[in-house]
Amino acid sequence: MTRCLAARWAVLCLFPLAARAAELDVRVIAASTAGQQVDASLRDIEPLLRRHLNFTSFELVKRGTIRLPSEGRPLALGDVAIRCLGGQERLAITIEQSGRVVVQTQTSLRHRHPLVFSGLPGPRGTLLIALLLR
């Protein structure tokens, strides 16, 4: 009886951990060298953008979320679509633009470690795709 109660307690304790699904925050950003504006919604990744990219202005265009683990259902954000397969420890990511596959990558994601793809052509310059585990 005691053992049974202990087992139930252990399951109750660990259930929230198992059930907590990670989410992948996906942002499509228009980057340019015109102006100095950065959307407030990009503050968390601004240090990374500033460090590695020469753009001075970053504007959020679209935003979406993919629940992980994911089975590959595409998230459409304008003419960009992101497909994810797997969980955060081993996630296959495919980025398509206008129906053509631009990038395929396999990653092991970490919290607070954004993954940013730069160089996609956009209507007003360059598009960035920023992925961040939530």
> How many Å apart are CA 38 and CA 60, to the nearest integer?
8
Identify which of residues 37 and 105 has a Cβ nearer to another protein in the complex.
105
* Residue 98 zone, left/alpha/beta (φ > 0; ψ -120 to 50; rest): left
Minimum distance between the CB of residue 109 and another protein, rounded to whole angstroms?
A: 6
Question: Any bridge partners for residue 82, and if so which?
Answer: 75, 95
CA distances from 80 to 31, 95, 109 (A): 15, 7, 21
At 74 the three-state DSSP class reads coil
Query: 3 or 111: whose CB is closer to another protein?
Result: 111
Site for another protein in 11-50 (CB under 8 A): 12-14, 16-17, 20, 45, 47-49
Encoded one letter per residue, x for contact with another protein by CB under 8 A and - for no contact, window 86-115 reads: ---xx------xxxxxxxxxxxxxxxxxxx
Question: Which residues lie near another protein (CB under 8 A)?
Answer: 10, 12-14, 16-17, 20, 45, 47-49, 51-53, 89-90, 97-121
